[in-house]
Amino acid sequence: MRKAIQLLFLLVFGLFLLSLLISYFYLNSIQSLPKLSARVDSNGDDSIDESIILEKTENEILDVPFGPPLNFTSIGNGFLAFSAYVDARDGNMGYPCVRIPVIATMKQNFKCRLTDREMEGTTYELSENHAMRYRVYIVNCKLPDEKELKRIKTIEIGAFNTKTAKLEFTVVPITYRIPKETEIKDHPLRYSVCLPQLFGNIYTAERIVEFIELYRLQGAGRFHVYVKKESLDTRVSRLLNRYSKEGIVEVINFHPDIQEKSIWYHGQLISVTDCHLRTIGLAKFVSFNDFDEFFIPMTNDSLLSTLEELLSNNTGSIRVPTFYMSIENKTLPITQHNFKCSPQADEV
């Protein structure tokens, strides 16, 4: 009996040593992953730009230029135009054209003008406006000479002003140029994430770091974040500025002069449309997320490798099962055992 107890003790001790060795080699194997280190400044404020330091070398700074700022141009009747762009593709119109996204209260007949020539604009409404007062439309202007698409820098859009009873034209600058599909030989980025939009204190700096670093490990190269700068929490603002200096986060100030109650969900469709435009030709894959949404691959090493495998020429769409996670036990450290998972959301 005594020998059996001794053997059992030796076995437990051996397993303990083995677990220590496994932990040691595992920790050494992940030394190449981005680390987070904490520091509190002299006044006791653990400001996010001081407390979260990404350890990296100089050559890890992403050297891909940011896109243009998002500007809003006022046109007749208090409507707004944004992100006018040249689209060299045939697209849904069947011909290359200049497209002008506008925010308006009604669908109306817009006119386009280039130098002394006027053209009828073709207008269609985007989905997801949810019958709100202000809606997002696309005005398409077909130019008489397609060669002009490559050299024009501005275009005029005309709207009937009910106050003056006149057709008034406003100059809108060309913001983006979308080439034909055959002209896009390579993408500077493999995968980008659009995040429309961030305001107030809904998400903490810690949550944003968690989101960005997890997606970076999954293969994301850039994050396009639409913000209302004047409403941001100070720590969140400092964090985004730090990521911006590294080329990882493109911060786009977003503040259309429209009452938020008059447009769907703070004007999210505007930022979605703009982010779609600014990533064409820039990134091979683009996802549109909130900061509490995570795409988690169940088989491949990363989300990027999953997208490469799934999005072939024969794939038309992908159905992603959705789960809602809630924290039951908030005692640190928070692990997967602290969470309660709902059934698939698309089965509810």
**Mind listing the domains of the chain with CATH numbers?**
33-63+186-317 (no CATH), 72-180 (2.60.40), 323-348 (no CATH)
Sign of CA dihedral 127, 344, 285, 254: positive
CB 111 within 8 A of CB 119: yes
pLDDT for res 46: 38
Q: Which residues contact residue 175 at a Cβ distance below 8 angstroms, ignoring those fewer than 6 apart?
A: 68, 71, 82, 83, 84, 85, 277
- For residue 168, what pLDDT is reported? 86
Q: For the chain, how big is the Rg over CA atoms in Å?
A: 26
Alpha-helical segments (H) within 30-116: 48-51
pLDDT for the residue numbered 222: 95
- The residue type found at 308 is E
Interatomic CA distance for residues 67 and 95, integer angstroms: 25
CB atoms within 10 A of CB 175: 20
Structure tokens at 237: 């603002």
Query: How far apart are the C-alpha atoms of 53 and 34, rounded to whole Å?
Result: 10
Per-residue confidence (pLDDT) for residue 19, from 0 to 100: 53
Q: Two tokens at 73?
A: 């141009």
Q: What does DSSP say about strands 283-288 and 189-198: parallel, antiparallel, or unpaired?
A: parallel
Q: Which two tokens stand for residue 76?
A: 């007749």
pLDDT confidence of residue 106: 80
Q: Tell me the CA distances in angstroms from 38 to 15, 53, 210, 330, one per residue in order.
A: 34, 7, 14, 21
- Eight-state DSSP code of residue 119: E
Q: Would you give the DSSP letter of residue 232?
A: S
Return the number of other C-beta atoms located less than 10 Å from residue 133's C-beta. 14
pLDDT by position in tens, the chain (length 348): 566 555 555 555 555 555 544 444 433 433 333 333 333 333 333 344 333 334 443 435 667 878 888 888 888 777 888 878 999 888 777 888 899 999 988 888 889 998 778 888 889 888 888 888 889 999 999 877 777 778 888 999 988 877 787 888 889 999 888 888 888 888 999 999 999 877 767 788 988 999 999 999 989 999 999 988 888 888 999 999 999 999 999 999 888 878 778 888 778 888 899 999 899 889 999 999 888 888 888 777 788 888 888 887 777 677 777 777 766 666 776 666 656 666 555 543
Query: Residue 229 belongs to what H/E stretch?
Result: none
